[in-house]
A and B are shown apart, each in its own frame.
Chain A
């Protein structure tokens, strides 16, 4: 042995000699002869008749590693599901026929309405129906009869939190809730863009233009691509078609509508 060792104790020297003096182990002659035949002939490589040791396909190892992507996919799926939550809650305030993505639904058909609008869609409330649409704790909408609104997918809890409503016609009131913090909410009409950070607003749109009323908080409002101006509480920005926008006081009927909306939400699912 060419290796240098620290001096061995007599017991260690004895152990070393004991191992060195171990004789070769005689194999079963039958096994040896069979293996030799198979090895030399190449039949060992071919498989049978010699039965290989239990070299099973490492399913266990494979599965152990497969857990990682599987768990990641599961986690992602669960996260997406939790992030999205249960979708928009939709409740009729007034009966009537509404249209969601071109399909007519009676406003009182709660489950059909929820199924149609839960993930957003193009909503036309028709002449009579009005709806309350909420994402509990975050956003509540009241959509009046005669409104034509593009409802976005509900905001996520942790990501994909920004939502943009497109109002083509009619009036909607929107209030943000205590869990809305940090989100971006935008309401777009052909004449205006309203950016909201925690507030209660009302947006009305007809062929003459758009009116954005701010009840609480502050909204930044302006024409699409134009200068955005802050609109304080109690004021509204009017964006008439073909004219310059201006800020003025909220009209009493709009204020009353928003107060009623706020009162209705307070004791219920909102907080």
Chain B
């Protein structure tokens, strides 16, 4: 266990204490522990990546329950495939790939397509986004929440692949090459699709976000 990974005692009762949400990469020792399914390493992995997984799932799907389902599925897959995980590699892209693939499978499912047809863009789910800093500055948080809902709604109005490309690129920070590997298309194709997606998003937002 490296210094960055040191637990601070906020973990679940049955698990070893772990720090709060972590942004640092896991240490090599922790990653090796993930491969061995050590509880301490798994706890650190969960704490470090749960917010990313859940947030991406939510941004891709716009539905809290579905995001929970996807997140659960992602961590189930992580647990099951942990013994084959290469500890030399950052688990972040791995988790992003699993998350995206799970969402893609959901999009392709008959039940999802049926559900989408019966929902409208006025779904109140989009308007119920949490406001992380509401206690600090309620007024500003309300404005930000309104903007966020509008942006989220615009993202969700994009076709699923465009939505994924925009979010993976600008929300997740992946480059076109990484996205291309994930989607199974060329770097150039991703660049074109990203341009189209961004233009479509800008059209939907009507340029108001420039303020």
A20 to B50, CA, bound (A): 19
A98 to B106, CA, bound (A): 70
- Binding stretch for chain A, among B24-32, B53-61, B88-96: B53-61
Contact across chains for B209 and A17 when beta carbons are under 8 A apart: yes
- Determine whether A159 belongs to the interface, using a CB cutoff of 8 Å to chain B: no
* Bitwise interface map of B from 148 to 159 toward A, beta carbon under 8 Å scored 1, else 0: 100110110000
Contact across chains for B198 and A8 when beta carbons are under 8 A apart: yes
* Bitwise interface map of B from 98 to 126 toward A, beta carbon under 8 Å scored 1, else 0: 00000000000011000000000000000
The answer, among B79, B80, B110, B148, for a CB contact under 8 Å with A22, is B148
- Determine whether A68 belongs to the interface, using a CB cutoff of 8 Å to chain B: no
The answer, among A5, A8, A24, A55, for a CB contact under 8 Å with B132, is A24
A52 to B203, CA, bound (A): 38
A51 to chain B, nearest CB (A): 9
- Determine whether A80 belongs to the interface, using a CB cutoff of 8 Å to chain B: no
- Determine whether B164 belongs to the interface, using a CB cutoff of 8 Å to chain A: no
Residue of A2, A20, A35 most packed against chain B (CB within 10 A)? A35
Contact across chains for B210 and A52 when beta carbons are under 8 A apart: no
Contact across chains for B42 and A40 when beta carbons are under 8 A apart: yes
Chain B count of residues within 8 A CB distance of the other chain: 65
Contacts of B64 in A (CB 8 A): 28
B134-191: which residues lie under 8 A (CB-CB) from chain A? 144, 147-148, 151-152, 154-155, 166-167, 169-171, 173, 175-176, 191
Contact across chains for B173 and A1 when beta carbons are under 8 A apart: yes
The answer, among B37, B43, B194, B201, for a CB contact under 8 Å with A42, is B37
Contacts of A12 in B (CB 8 A): 198-199, 201-202
The answer, among B15, B67, B76, for a CB contact under 8 Å with A44, is B76
Contact across chains for A19 and B72 when beta carbons are under 8 A apart: no
Residue of A nearest to B151 (CB): A18
Residues of B contacting A: mostly = helix
B76 to chain A, nearest CB (A): 5
Contacts of B50 in A (CB 8 A): 27, 32, 35-36
* Bitwise interface map of A from 10 to 54 toward B, beta carbon under 8 Å scored 1, else 0: 111111111110111111100111011101111011000010111
B45 to chain A, nearest CB (A): 9
Contact across chains for A18 and B71 when beta carbons are under 8 A apart: no
Given contacts A12-B202, A37-B15, are A22 and B72 in contact (CB under 8 A)? Answer: no
Contact across chains for B68 and A28 when beta carbons are under 8 A apart: yes
Contacts of B169 in A (CB 8 A): 1, 3
Contacts of B205 in A (CB 8 A): 11, 14-15, 18
The answer, among B11, B80, B198, for a CB contact under 8 Å with A15, is B198
B135 to chain A, nearest CB (A): 13
- Determine whether B85 belongs to the interface, using a CB cutoff of 8 Å to chain A: no
A22 to B151, CA, bound (A): 8
Contact across chains for B69 and A54 when beta carbons are under 8 A apart: yes
- Determine whether A6 belongs to the interface, using a CB cutoff of 8 Å to chain B: yes
Residue of B nearest to A51 (CB): B72
Contacts of B203 in A (CB 8 A): 11
Given contacts A10-B210, A16-B170, are A24 and B198 in contact (CB under 8 A)? Answer: no
Contacts of A55 in B (CB 8 A): 73
- Determine whether B12 belongs to the interface, using a CB cutoff of 8 Å to chain A: yes
Contact across chains for B72 and A44 when beta carbons are under 8 A apart: yes
Contacts of A225 in B (CB 8 A): none
Contact across chains for A15 and B37 when beta carbons are under 8 A apart: no
Given contacts A25-B130, A53-B73, are A15 and B202 in contact (CB under 8 A)? Answer: yes
The answer, among A3, A23, A25, A39, for a CB contact under 8 Å with B75, is A39
B163 to chain A, nearest CB (A): 10
A52 to chain B, nearest CB (A): 7
A187 to B51, CA, bound (A): 85
- Determine whether B4 belongs to the interface, using a CB cutoff of 8 Å to chain A: no
Residue of B nearest to A20 (CB): B170
**Apart from A18-B151, A20-B171, A22-B152, 17 more pairs, CB < 8 Å:** A2-B175, A10-B210, A11-B206, A11-B207, A15-B154, A16-B170, A16-B198, A32-B50, A35-B72, A36-B47, A37-B12, A39-B75, A39-B79, A40-B15, A40-B42, A53-B70, A54-B69
Q: Report 26 cross-chain contacts, Cβ distance below 8 Å, ordered by A residue.
A: A3-B176, A3-B191, A11-B207, A11-B210, A12-B202, A14-B205, A14-B210, A15-B154, A15-B198, A18-B147, A20-B171, A22-B151, A24-B51, A24-B52, A25-B59, A25-B129, A27-B54, A35-B72, A37-B12, A40-B39, A41-B14, A44-B75, A44-B79, A45-B80, A50-B72, A54-B69
